[in-house]
Amino acid sequence: MNKVRIAVLVSGGGTNLQALIDAEKSGIIKDGKISLVVSNNADAYALKRAEKAGIETATVLKKDFITSSDFEGELVRLLKENGIELVVLAGFMSILTEKFIKAFEKRIINVHPSLIPSFCGKGYYGLKVHEAALSYGVKVTGATVHFVNEIPDGGKIIMQKAVEIKDGDTPETLQKRVMEEAEWKILPMSTQIICKKIKNGELL
């Protein structure tokens, strides 16, 4: 049986992409294959990671399109052309609209660096999430992998993992620990779960 073709959408350093590449190599992701890495930032280090792993890459820049609808149209065309069956957002810094989501309904997953429904939604990304967790004084944070719908961080949760907040944590130390202890573990595991469901025809 063929493996599910995965596209990973990235904007930055690509540490979550690296976790996915490593998970495919080690057999954690066994029902899917990362076939394409797409970035909306030509300088994203994630593209280098993909090239090093022998994965095809593409860059789609918003500034090259008159409207965001045209930008998304090009993304959809690229993904469909490559036979992509699952889209994984791994630090993709562009909010996707309903048009894109409808084209890949129940086929887009995202990792968010908090335990949804805490510290999520519009404006909560990157370090801002960890700053909010620390200023609120929560004792536990973590990461969530969820399906993407038209509400930012609003889709059905696939997997969560908690991470303890330690005395003296800064947003930077917390971000690193949430990545290492949660994001890099549950994103590959969730990707495998969804690939298996797609393969078995369970996600219609």
Task: State residue 152 phi and psi, 5-degree precision.
Answer: -55, 125
Residues in a beta bridge with 37:
8, 57
- Residue 174 · residue 192 · CB < 8 Å: no
190, 191, 197, 198: CA torsion to nearest 10? 150
The C-alpha atoms of residue 143 and residue 170 are separated, in whole angstroms, by 17
Query: Whole-angstrom Cα distance, residue 124 to residue 145?
Result: 15
Q: Any bridge partners for residue 147, and if so which?
A: 109
- Let me know: does 165 contact 133? Beta carbons within 8 Å: yes
Identified catalytic residue from 112, 130, 177, 185? 112
Angle at 94 between CA 127 and CA 37, to 5 degrees: 100
112 is an active site residue: yes
Active site residues: 112
